[in-house]
Amino acid sequence: MTLRATMMMGTAALGLLLGACAEPGPPRTALMGATILDGRGGTPLRNGVVLIRGGTIEAIGAREDIPLPRGTKQVDVAGSWIIPGLIDAHAHVARWALPRYVAYGVTAVRDVHNEPDSIFAMSEAADLGSALSPRIYAAGAMIDGAPATYPNATEVTDTRSARQAVDRLSVSGAHLIKAYTRITPPLMEAIVDEAKTFRIPVAAHLGLTDALTAGKMGVTSIEHLSGVPEAAGRADPLFAAAQDGFFAGWTAFEKSWATLDSVTLTRLAGQLAETGVTMVPTLVLHEVFSRLDDSTAMTNPDLLALPQNQMTAWNVPGMIERAGWTTADFEAFRRGRPMQDLFVRAFQKAGGKVVTGTDAANQMLVPGASEHTELELLVGAGLTPAQALRAATRDAAELLGADSLGTLVPGKAADLVVLSKDPLADIRNTRSVTRVMIRGQLVLADSIRRRW
Ligand SMILES: [Zn+2]
């Protein structure tokens, strides 16, 4: 109720209104009776209440401890579980995907390269609540060395142009900087240093800089475990391959994992954890791309629910042809997967921060759905379900620099997910999304699915 609307009413109507509400202000909703996992890692709260006012959590606690002000709308979610909204920290958002993220319980995404005009507009629309969309933290266009991998990247040729690119992106509203595969160590150093001036984080998909060098320079997050084999002794051949082109570099990188030894990887994981860099491993990307030759993957219901033209737009056979991938390559990718898992486990064990990311909507990576696959793969790599959830909520929010997200605590944003099954009993239960609340607005997952 706005002051102006109140003043426009007669005194009789105003009297009625005040009788109905305890006090003026945004309406309240209470989610009643669920087991609440607030994202801080403590014991789950059974038969709890989350009281939401406007877009904010007002109170949270045991049912008997939370008095409900008059006029509160009560929603019975007894027998359910409530977790903080999930965050996909490596996304390339497409407009068609926005409601889908929400239906899968993803309430915030970090977009690490897109058309700047459209992604900043989408981010703004999300903030205004004018579209059913996750919150979007966007890098705008990635910064790449010459020749840039993508025509819509910002190409830099020396440290001066690298600093200018960071300045321009910061001023135009980027929430973070994304550095790409052709960035050499001197360029990376300039980017990180300039980004510090603007207090803006740097995410890096490394190609010509190894992970330990990047971590020591102060890069905020390393994407796809890039630069790790290079730091584990494979720098020369992998940098040479990256110079040959994106796919040559990626193929050599992905194949190199199977040749690494666990002692070296474990030691490196410890050194990287010490630098404070966050890992966004995107295991789902590695896993899905290692099985692109497996046609049974197409029976996956998440893929079948995609918009009709999406498979055509992805053109997977075309990508395989451009990359030149053979059966032997896919076999080598699959042989490397256990070493990637080992590295993630060792990094996490050494105190390093791991955060969920998916690379959707790149080929075969379904927006929203792939977040749940990533959670499952993180548990497969050795994280507990609680640690995986933390990677998708609290630690991901910290990576976004978003204090108000990631945990369910009074005063924080009312972004949460209602599940029909216990995610701590089996991480695959994060898929049992029934309702999603974003900015205090409660939506039924099924009703979004019916409309997409
Ligand atoms: Zn990406």
DSSP of 380-425, one letter per residue? HHT--HHHHHHHHTHHHHHHHT-TTSSS--TTSB--EEEESS-TTT
CB environment 61-83: b (16+ within 10 A), e (fewer)? eeeeebebeeebeebebeebbbb
Peptide bond into 69 cis (omega under 30): no
Q: How far is CA 290 from CA 119, 238, 380, 382, in A?
A: 29, 19, 16, 20
Domain with CATH 2.30.40.10 in the chain: 32-82+410-451
| Between residues 130 and 372, the one the model is more confident about | 372
Average confidence (pLDDT) over 107-115? 97
Residue 452 three-state SS: coil
pLDDT at site 130: 85
- Give residue 251 CA to ligand 1 midpoint distance, Å: 15
Average confidence (pLDDT) over 423-447? 97
pLDDT at site 23: 67
Average confidence (pLDDT) over 183-210? 98
Is domain 32-82+410-451 given the CATH code 3.30.1330.90 in the classification? no
Q: Report residue 16's pLDDT band, with 50, 70 and 90 as the boundaries.
A: very low
Q: Report residue 297's pLDDT band, with 50, 70 and 90 as the boundaries.
A: confident
H-run or E-run covering 47: strand 45-53
- Give residue 178 CA to ligand 1 midpoint distance, Å: 10
- Give residue 90 CA to ligand 1 midpoint distance, Å: 6
The conformational region for residue 57 under phi > 0 = left, psi -120 to 50 = alpha, else beta, is beta
- Give residue 362 CA to ligand 1 midpoint distance, Å: 8
- Give residue 223 CA to ligand 1 midpoint distance, Å: 8
pLDDT of residue 264 exceeding 80, the answer is yes
pLDDT at site 22: 52
Average confidence (pLDDT) over 130-157? 96
pLDDT at site 20: 47
Cα 364 from chain centre:
17
Report d(CA 186, CA 399) in Å as an integer. 24
- Give residue 179 CA to ligand 1 midpoint distance, Å: 11
Q: Report residue 24's pLDDT band, with 50, 70 and 90 as the boundaries.
A: confident
- Give residue 75 CA to ligand 1 midpoint distance, Å: 38
- Give residue 383 CA to ligand 1 midpoint distance, Å: 23
The mean pLDDT value of the chain amounts to: 94
- Give residue 24 CA to ligand 1 midpoint distance, Å: 45
Average confidence (pLDDT) over 243-261? 97
Range name among 13-17, 125-129, 339-343 with the lowest pLDDT average: 13-17
pLDDT of residue 13 exceeding 80, the answer is no
- What residues have a C-beta under 5 A from ligand 1, the ion? 359
The residue among 268, 114, 244, 84 whose CA lies nearest residue 176 is: 114
Report d(CA 282, CA 377) in Å as an integer. 9
pLDDT of residue 214 exceeding 80, the answer is yes
Q: What is the pTM of this model?
A: 0.94
- Give residue 135 CA to ligand 1 midpoint distance, Å: 18
Domain with CATH 3.20.20.140 in the chain: 84-400
| Between residues 13 and 362, the one the model is more confident about | 362
For 135, phi then psi, to 5°, come to -65, 140
The alpha carbon torsion through 9, 10, 14, 17 (nearest 10 deg) reads: -70
- Give residue 113 CA to ligand 1 midpoint distance, Å: 7
Percentage of residues in the chain having pLDDT higher than 90? 90
Which pLDDT tens digit goes with each residue over 62-91? 999 999 999 999 999 999 999 999 999 999
- Give residue 380 CA to ligand 1 midpoint distance, Å: 22
CATH superfamily of the domain spanning 84-400: Metal-dependent hydrolases (3.20.20.140)
Average confidence (pLDDT) over 419-446? 98
